[in-house]
Amino acid sequence: MPGSIGLFLIMLDHVHSNVLIFLLCSVGLIVLPHAWNLSNLIIGFFYILWLWRLLGVYRKTVLPNRLILFLATLAGIALLYSQHQGLLGLDAGTHIIITALGLKLLEIRSERDLYLVVYLAFVVAATLFLYQQSIGLAIYIVFVCVSLLATLIILNGRVTATIALKIAGLLLLQALPVATILFLLFPRIEAPRWEFLQDKHKAKTGLSEIFEPGSISDLGLSDELVFRAKFTGAVPPPAHRYWRGPVYTYTNGKLWLPSTQKVKVLPQDYLSVSGAAYQYTVLMEPQDKEWVFALELPVGIRPPLRLTGDYQLMNDGNTHIRNEYVLRSYPTFNTGTLDNAEFKENTQLPAKVSPKITELVTRLQGVETSPEALIRQILTHFRTEAFYYTLRPPLMEQDPIETFLLKTRAGFCGHYATAFVYLMRVAGFPARVVSGYQGGEYNKVGNFLEIRQADAHAWAEVWLSDKGWTRVDPTAAIAPERIEQGVNIDLQIASGLVNFSRINLGQSGMVNFYQQFRQVWQSVDYQWQRWVINYTNEQQADLLAALGMFDIQTMLRALFILITLLTLGLFIWLTRQPRQTKDAALIWYEKFCAKLAKLGLIKAPAETATAFADRVSKRYPTLNVAVHQITVLFLKIRYGKDIDPNELKLLAQRVKTLNINQLLKKHSL
């Protein structure tokens, strides 16, 4: 064995293997959630080091010497460089911490190293919240942090793992009231101050600024949450659940792009609205776009929100954090007239229109020339001809619109919306494609809608002289179930086939139970996101105002008083708590002393237990073994660092079975 390894083993002699195993389990669990966030290479490298150290607990000869550890460090640095070529950024910084933690595991030589590993693990736990803030992850992190805290308790108190976990849990419960007060009242640092940590260019799924039918197909298989909407009054029926997103006006026949015109500023009276409005709150998930999805059509917009000339809602603030907006939308509206530039832009076509398409439009239009008549004819054409709705259409690389209309006749919302707009433009009527989300799953427990990427949808808008921009959804003509009932995400992912009914899934008890449990969990998570994760300066100001605190001096004074009172209360409660294990030992020792008192052997107040045992043994030698066994056990439990519950049971058993009279008979003989 190399000399360095021998020295290493000598230094580790006093580190108990159970402590190492307990620590390694905690460290392995705290890094595990990062497998969904970070590079597979970095996570794999960490767990190789982790397994190496775990094997070293049982076979110390496999642990690396200084040279091998140095080479492993170089390998870690090379791996980090290959992934980032830099040190800045959320992923890069987290990768460095995890790699350092893995290497430090191989370098454990003393208790000091154990402390450092624990502290690094706490840092890794904190980085998890930079990626996700769900309540499930929070519970998981608290559980693992309790085990890390228990490791520190074991190192300091030399107690068993069970007792250490109980103490750690108790400490957490004691800290919870103070943490709650600080969370509610302490001045908050808003997330934008930490924007430099965000990898803003990291790929995220969602709608794109360039629209092609395949993009909706890709999203149709994603269960990723986009936003939640909670309504003050009645939830709108499915036919009104159109969540407006990007609008596309320019096309080259394959791709569709947003307007190239300068976005005009909409006046306050940009709409003529009628009927009842929907009042609701939208909780948007973090995204890398400025888009906010609202029901058609929002009014009363306030900063940081703004409405573009094509009625898309935008956020000028930070979209890389979870945001909540209070909105009001009218489903019945009139957008007014078009200017010449808008008319030209929304009738634009590629340089060459296929004669077959022109012939189709002429046949559909017939003798009538109104846009309303052509709309009816196109929708009837989709319904009566052999058109099909599917998320797995055949490839249409060349002339996709013509191929779809005249050959394949199979597609999804993107195909129908683009084909419809194209036909309207060939006839000379302004039309455009609108993307966004349609529908949403209603959560009965929390009374809100969940909109996911699988709800991504595209529809058309046609400008009518007496109504302005009017929504026309060709998908409703060919597959009304898609609009009325939505799409079953789980079945799409499992089979790749479309099943429109979410309602019919609840036939089996198991599926029904799963749906109910999922809704309860999503409702809890929604409240967690709204009131904990999304607790802002504004909400704190409202709370303080309700408590009569209108300035920072009053707030800090109240914070100081509350924490002081709470700390005093905890102190009084803790000092009055009996030390259960040691007091139980004292009780049994007092029973032991009571038995000896019958012989006239009374322990003096200033006499130690050992001195008393010696005095009893001198007086009655036959009691020597039993008395000293009980005394040693009592002292070990009462004052020792390693407390074993079995020893307390043994003490109780020996005191119970101590038969003074029988021992005295032997003494007399």
Which one of 34, 320, 381, 457 is the catalytic residue? 457
84-120: b or e for each residue (b if 16 or more CB lie within 10 Å)?
beeeebbbbebbbbbbbbbbbbbbbeeeebbebbbeb
DSSP state of 532: I
Name every residue whose Cβ is closer than 8 Å to that of residue 379 and which is 6 or more positions away in sequence: 472, 474, 477
Angle between helices 40-58 and 90-105 (to 10 degrees): 10
DSSP state of 37: T
In the chain, the largest separation of any two C-alpha atoms, in whole Å, equals: 132
Distance CA 383, CA 9 (A): 80
Note whether 493 and 221 are within 8 A (CB): yes
Is 413 tagged catalytic?
yes
Distance CA 211, CA 217 (A): 12
Sign of CA dihedral 331, 334, 335, 338: positive
Distance CA 456, CA 483 (A): 11
Distance CA 240, CA 255 (A): 28
Measured CA to CA in angstroms, residue 268 lies from 15, 261, 300, 302, 467 at distances of 72, 21, 8, 11, 18
Which one of 413, 415, 455, 525 is the catalytic residue? 413
What are 522's two structure tokens?
Answer: 């999503």
Is 145 tagged catalytic?
no
The CA radius of gyration of the chain, in Å to the nearest whole number, is 36
Is 415 tagged catalytic?
no
Please classify residue 152 by burial: count the beta carbons closer than 10 Å to its beta carbon, then call 0-12 exposed, 13-18 middle and 19+ buried. middle
Residues recognised as catalytic:
413, 457, 473
